[in-house]
Each structure stands twice: as structure tokens, then as C-alpha cells.
Structure 1
Amino acid sequence: MPAARAFAREALADWGVRGRADDVVLCVSELATNALLHGVPPGRGFLLRLWLLPCGDGVRVEVHDSGDGVPAVPLESGGSDEGGRGLLLVSELADKWGVAEREPGKVVWFECGVPAD
């Protein structure tokens, strides 16, 4: 997910957002990875959108994909399995997150309060 991380980091820098930028970029990486692994058929991509919230006191990120199903935070985070922790990270780092329907597929989004410098 280097391209998604770079896009997010550049947008945040352009907006003068420094606080929690690493959290936002990590969440972008996790959602983009999930979209590629679980949300799009081979050969298809996903849409990544970032924007400042009204009053400029936060950022909203959306990852649109064409996959079905509703992602959920795993009930247990233990064990040695490396997968399944992306949404757990997003749920811990973001102020809010959720899933919305779209045709086809879904939008997984999060918001973080990140005041501009």
C-alpha cells in the first residue's frame, strides 16, 4: 500500500496537518489493504478519498470497494494469526469509523480529529 500511504501523507502535509498524521496514514494503509484483499475482484481497484472536515478540525477518509459483506472488528485479538487486525487498529486509532453501502460494494470510513498547525 505504498501509493495509498504516500497519497494520504501528501494530502495531510498539503493541508498543514501534523498531529496524528501517522495514525491517519496507518489507518489508510489498513483499509486499503483490506479493500485489495477482501473487497475487489482480481484486476479491479478501489477508491480512496480524504478531506478535511468542516471547520478544519479533522480528517475523513473513505475507501470504496466493490466487494460484498460487512467488515467487523474481530472479537478476539489473541493468537499468532497475522491477519484480521487491520480493523482493530482502525477502531483503536480513529475517533469514529463505520461501513456504508454503495452500489456495488461498500465504503469503509473513519474520522480523526487532527487540527491543522
Structure 2
Amino acid sequence: MSIVRQQRFARARVSVRAARQFVGDTLTCWGVRGRWDEMRLCASELAANAVLHGAPPGRDFCVRLVREPGRVLIEVRDTGPGLPVIQCVSSEAAAGRGLWLVREVADDFGVLDEPVGKTAWVAFVE
């Protein structure tokens, strides 16, 4: 049986912190302790991408957590066009490593092209 919790956030930089807090609070409520920091990090990166590149002005984005037997799934959905791309950046670059980091930290990562927008997701095996 799956347990699902989701929350909408405004397209604002402060929402990245709020989304990370929501994920941390939900994981704590569920009793998930392993890899808590990695899950919050991935949620932050996906939320930051939604704020900076995904959600159109005036639109929200949604963070959804699903706890299934043996894994936790974190999804961030926005209604903006285009799909995110994992970049290869130089060691001197100040930005652009977020999705690369997400892919390296999570057990699985993907992006679903939705009829309107997209859903970026990460999965962690418990």
C-alpha cells in the first residue's frame, strides 16, 4: 500500500526552502531516517529548477511524496514548457550541476513529459 502526501508552492525562491521543509517533515512523520539529507537535497534541487526554469510566472509547482514498500518517490511537477537537461559544466562554473547531483545521489531519476508541463522525480530505496 502506498502513502501519498503533496503540497503546492508559489513560484518564489522562498518556496525552495519551504519544499525542502515539507519533504523533511513528511519523511520524519513517516519514520524515514535513512538518507534523509539526500532526499531533502534532491527535493531542493528539483524545486529550484521548477522556480527558476519550470513554473511560468503566476503559476505554482507541486511537490508529491509517495512511500511505497521499500522506496520513497519524490516528484516535482510544474506547468512550464520544455524538459530539463543534465549539463556538463566546467569545474569553474558557478551553477548548472543540480540535475547532475540529483542523478548521482538518488537511486533513480527521471522526467515525465506531461500534457502540460513535466514531472521530475527521484526514487530512493529504503
Q: TM-score, normalised by structure 2?
A: 0.83
Highest RCO, 1 vs 2 (Cα 8 Å, sep ≥ 6): 1
Structure 2 match to 1:104 = 116
Q: Distance in 1 between matches of 2:99 and 2:90?
A: 11
Bigger share in strand: 2
Does residue 73 of structure 1 match 2:81? no
- The Cα of 1:103 is off from its aligned counterpart by 2.3
RMSD over equivalenced CA pairs, Å: 1.1
Q: Identify unmatched segments of 5+ residues in structure 2.
A: 1-15
Q: Identify unmatched segments of 5+ residues in structure 1.
A: none
Work out which of the residue numbers 22, 27, 37 in structure 2 matches 1:12: 27
Mean Cα displacement is larger for which, 66-75 or 96-105? 66-75
- The Cα of 1:67 is off from its aligned counterpart by 1.3
AA matched with 1:93: V
Q: Distance in 2 between matches of 1:83 and 1:104?
A: 27
Runs of at least 4 residues of structure 1 off by over 6 A?
A: none
SS for the counterpart of 1:46 is strand
- The Cα of 1:7 is off from its aligned counterpart by 0.4
- The Cα of 1:77 is off from its aligned counterpart by 4.7
Q: Identity of counterpart residues, as a percentage?
A: 47
Q: Distance in 2 between matches of 1:14 and 1:77?
A: 39
Work out which of the residue numbers 71, 86, 96 in structure 2 matches 1:84: 96
Distance 1:15 1:109, change over 3 A: same
Does residue 93 of structure 1 match 2:108? no
Structure 2 match to 1:58 = 71
